[in-house]
């Protein structure tokens, strides 16, 4: 296989995208959806390969992207997820609404790895560096080959256990057992029932988690609702909610509420707040999710200041006087996707028929490893998937004003054009400012 065929073609532009190209692509996808990516550049009048268009859309033009700096919570979540998932950036990104795998990968490589090392934590194994070094020394003294359990570089993938996941013969043998590289005591998840486990910090056996709740797990929404008593185990990763001590730069776990993983890992939650208050932000769509000017809508929205078409179903302009969100706590702004809300959606928020339809439509991602997380994320994912789906269901341009077909077949008149400037006002002002700086002006 190797190189994509379209890349062989001559005269294809490479490198940074110009504002004109962005506008062409944006306009095309807004009107028609992307459909087959390989045909997009031709239809949109772009001298790019389809792959490049896809990447540009996913990483930059997509309207549901959240731009700007990562919050501390997001960084912590990435670290936690990386401890469980390794370099599975797309899976990590799937749990951070509005963030792309590329963005997270860059953050990790440029920032988070460094931070972890500064805190004395190996970014590959997520173990204390001292422990790694000791193991290293022991191995050297024993003359054993440095196959596993050592090193701080990314090159030694066996350390993280990821390699084992790719080797079924090893994986099956270590199911529920310790892999050679995971020497800390691990209590089988089935034994980690709720508060009974509160006193003990437990390790996350990556192999076990991914095997049991990852790859082959196809949880249905109703299954998830039925998992209210799913086993929990407490997160042992101190950075999860830790604050950095200004004194020595090391993380402190003092006064940190215990965080709990669902059985499959995933986003930890504060068992006190998340279970005591439906409004708590267990897993929420950040208020800043759609830039600053939109808040979750019931249905519809639009109007003079409408967001790009795909926003209209779920997002509407925030009420006048509502300040732009300044943090990622969405508990006070509109719809929360916390666990209870999500459960409501699947169990009593929709009819049985709708549930069935939803289940049919949903391709349960294999990477949704936690029942809690799965439920919540599925809620979010469905929002997005509706948007993406609808892109492919667009009517041709000759439809008056362009019609946007919803998953349910309803149609809404859409603006015929969404200029780059409009888009920039709505979605990612920071980046368009950058563009403006880079290219002079837009329009």
Closer by beta carbon to DNA, 27 or else 227: 27
Query: Which of 73, 93, 162, 177 lies closest to 126 in space, CA to CA?
Result: 162
The two beta strands, 265-270 and 259-262, are antiparallel
**Residue at token pair 């409004």:** 279
Q: Which is nearer to DNA, 333 or 381 (CB)?
A: 381
* Residue 9 CA to its chain's centroid (Å): 34
CB closer to DNA, 2 vs 323 = 2
Q: How far is the CB of 415 from DNA (least distance, A)?
A: 24
| Residues lying near DNA in the complex (CB under 7 A) | 1-7, 13-17, 36-38, 48, 50-52, 54-56, 59-60, 87-91, 101-103, 105-107, 109-111, 154, 431, 437-438
Of 403, 239, 385, 238, nearest to 309 (Cα)? 403
User: Looking at beta carbons only, is 7 or 195 nearer to DNA?
Assistant: 7
By beta-carbon proximity to DNA, the closer residue of 348 and 439 is 439
Least distance (Å) between residue 154 CB and DNA: 7
Element (H, E) at 162: helix 162-165
Q: Which helix (H) or strand (E) holds 260?
A: strand 259-262
| HSE of 60, CA atoms in CB hemisphere, 13 A | 20
Shortest Cβ distance from residue 50 to DNA (Å)? 5
Per DSSP, 121 falls in state B
Give me the least distance between CB of 7 and DNA, in Å please: 5
**End-to-end alpha carbon distance in the chain:** 40
191, with CB counted inside 10 A (0-12, 13-18, 19+), is: exposed
Shorter beta-carbon distance to DNA: residue 168 or 194: 168
Report DSSP letters for 276-324, one per residue: H-TTS-SS---TTTTTTTEEE-SS---STTPPPGGGTTTEEEPPTTPPP
User: Reduced to 3 states, what is the DSSP secondary structure of residue 104?
Assistant: helix
- Residue 108 Cβ, how far from DNA at the closest point, in Å? 8
Q: Least distance to DNA from the beta carbon of 116, Å?
A: 13
Cβ atoms 249, 118 nearer than 8 A: yes
Task: Look up residue 99 and give its two tokens.
Answer: 């963030």
Residue placing its CB nearer to DNA in the complex, 112 or 239: 112
Distance CA 403, CA 400 (A): 7
**Closest distance of CB 101 from DNA, Å:** 5
Q: With respect to DNA, which residue has the nearer C-beta, 87 or 292?
A: 87
How far apart are CB 231 and DNA at their closest, in Å?
26
Least distance (Å) from DNA to the CB of residue 439? 10
SS3 content of the chain, % helix, strand, coil (to 5): 45, 5, 50
Select 109 or 332, whichever has its Cβ closest to DNA: 109
């Amino acid at each position: 296989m190797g190189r994509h065929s379209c890349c062989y073609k001559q005269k294809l532009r490479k490198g940074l995208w110009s504002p004109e190209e962005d506008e062409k692509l944006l306009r095309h996808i807004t009107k028609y959806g992307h459909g087959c990516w390989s045909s997009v550049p031709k239809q949109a009048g772009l001298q790019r390969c389809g792959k490049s268009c896809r990447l540009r859309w996913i990483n930059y033009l997509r309207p549901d992207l959240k731009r700007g700096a990562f919050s501390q919570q997001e960084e912590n979540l990435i670290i936690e997820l990386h401890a469980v998932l390794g370099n599975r950036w797309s899976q990590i990104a799937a749990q951070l609404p509005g963030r792309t795998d590329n963005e997270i990968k860059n953050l990790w490589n440029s920032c988070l790895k460094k931070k972890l090392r500064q805190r004395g934590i190996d970014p590959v194994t997520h173990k204390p560096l001292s422990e790694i070094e000791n193991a290293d020394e022991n191995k050297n003294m024993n003359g054993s080959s440095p196959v596993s359990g050592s090193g701080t570089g990314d090159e030694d993938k066996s350390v993280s256990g990821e390699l084992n996941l790719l080797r079924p013969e090893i994986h099956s043998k270590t199911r529920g057992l310790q892999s050679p590289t995971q020497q800390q005591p691990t209590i089988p998840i089935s034994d980690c029932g709720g508060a009974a486990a509160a006193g003990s910090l437990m390790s996350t056996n990556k192999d076990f988690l991914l095997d049991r709740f990852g790859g082959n797990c196809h949880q249905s929404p109703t299954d998830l609702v039925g998992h209210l008593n799913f086993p929990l185990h407490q997160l042992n990763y101190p950075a999860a909610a830790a604050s950095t001590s200004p004194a020595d730069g090391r993380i402190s776990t003092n006064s940190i509420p215990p965080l709990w993983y669902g059985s499959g890992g995933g986003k930890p939650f504060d068992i006190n707040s998340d279970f005591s208050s439906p409004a708590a932000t267990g897993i929420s769509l950040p208020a800043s999710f759609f830039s600053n000017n939109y808040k979750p809508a019931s249905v519809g929205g639009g109007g003079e200041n409408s967001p790009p078409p795909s926003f209209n179903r779920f997002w509407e302009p925030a009420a006048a006087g509502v300040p732009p969100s300044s943090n990622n706590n969405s508990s006070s702004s509109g719809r929360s996707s916390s666990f209870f809300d999500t459960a409501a959606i699947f169990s009593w928020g929709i009819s049985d028929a709708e549930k069935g339809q939803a289940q049919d439509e949903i391709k349960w991602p294999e990477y949704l490893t936690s029942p809690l997380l799965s439920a919540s994320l599925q809620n979010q994912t469905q929002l997005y998937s509706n948007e993406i789906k609808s892109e492919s269901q667009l009517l041709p341009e000759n439809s008056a004003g362009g019609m946007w077909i919803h998953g349910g077949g309803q149609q809404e008149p859409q603006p015929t054009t969404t200029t780059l400037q409009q888009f920039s006002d709505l979605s990612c002002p920071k980046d368009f400012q950058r563009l403006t700086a880079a290219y002079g002006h837009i329009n």
